[in-house]
Structure 1
């Protein structure tokens, strides 16, 4: 059979890459800070993130396919096209469940990335199976290279985005995700030839490029709208602390509402920020100390700083955040200091030399009853 000559519309190729970038940003941003949310809200956000990431993979593929130009008229099987979208969403959803409902380790993060890579591949080849009046002919090299790229780049993307849940890592993970999706598509297409066939094997109704374009435009509009929605959360919020009641220097309503996600005996518990005495860094995670116990927290110290310092917590050391409400005494030595808390079993929190003056002044102004010795 004679191979067909194919070309691509550069504008639509570029647009497909933008769709992948926006979908990655939306999906990875939706899953920020899920540890502090109740299970129902967590499940709902994971479902939305799966739709954004899986649907973004689908939209990227078919935006690029709209730019595919061949000397014959061809159609898409609507049912197979729908199956390709649902497959991507379900596989990505499975990966997100592993990330957010199991203990997160390097292995689980890599496993989730590999699963998403498989989802990209499955979506691509199922979507290509929906072509009618022409048939894709694959080369072994194209399949192998695209498969390796899909898995490796998705593992890298999720390793970066979930290594530490900082804004910087989410942005870098977004770029890696977009590169992964686009690379898989175009590497696979580079190893694909097309031949014309006289009859199709329709599984569902046929769909022209024009009809497909309407669906892709609508879904892309939804993804871009969701991107704007989550993008607002990255903007600095206006300061309105003057309108909130204060108690011992801490905004009462916010500290009561903020729940710090912790683990106790293998189960998830939430501790009110007001009950936290201090937070100590522990590798990529933190230890949360209350007056009664010490708990493991999945937040990094950077994430804890971002959430607790605006509420009045003080960074006394690069590894320590202290709630001044629980400080009963500040002790200073020649080159360092420490914050002492109620209860003999609660260890003191060190104060580094560079922060001595700032911490002593902050405690004096916020707590008032501190006795410096």
Structure 2
């Protein structure tokens, strides 16, 4: 296998972010070749270092996986000397990523205007929940809150109207990480052409609305808000459901298109009177539920083998990571050092030509770049 391409080689990133959205964004930049310098508090480092389970005496697995391939600069941002050091570094920095509430970096003397004056081509990315302005700008929140406030959480409510706590952090990654990376790359391209940097206002709340585009489309044509558990992709159709098998496993069934639906109906033996699900979707769903429940999952998977019907098994995360398909694509074959142990890196969400399948770079010890960058 050829070595991964590194299109961001030569790009230097100063990363003030913590927890998930910013660190995953700079992980992607590092994977693509950027030098990422992570600024942390002296003594303790950022919060994620201490989230269990631990892989070393002072670092948890979450920190290790999100900060692979970076360097650590331990500085007290309330100290004038630390601010002076950062400003000295700024002439050689291409990207700043920060995740404080609006106004914090300005009060520290490290806001966009202050750093742009030193480096006019600087790309300055601010990741927040609600954006740099607006009534909610200073409101404390986490992923669940952003999903609740943007209506996304309600879209996943069951038929009784009860929202379900999502198992994945869509706001942090889908609303923060990915828009930040995209915006940084756009701004770097613009800076190459014009010499002018940019302040990127990446708001997780704003960016979640794109995930609910279909619901906004319904509203745009005058339809009422989607019914809990009652729309095409939220449980209102027999063509987009999870069905329980006789052995307690579940099938994810998504034969939305008519050609897939007809194949599905043939395999499960659905009576012709119910195959036209436009008449009574609930009755068709109930009938399919009873049919699927009569056989174990292995029988159904064998029956659907080679049939275009969009039917798959609901797997655990462990089963998924061990799936031969993902193994064949090299997603989980790497090994990164973590103290005396090794970890399988999380595959960053970028094209394989930019991804290091070996994942051999470790995560930084707190302050490992201090001597090099500050002389002490």
Fold shared per TM-score above 0.5: no
TM range (shorter): under 0.3
Which has the greater radius of gyration? 1
Q: Which has the higher helix share?
A: 1
Q: TM-score, normalised by structure 2?
A: 0.22
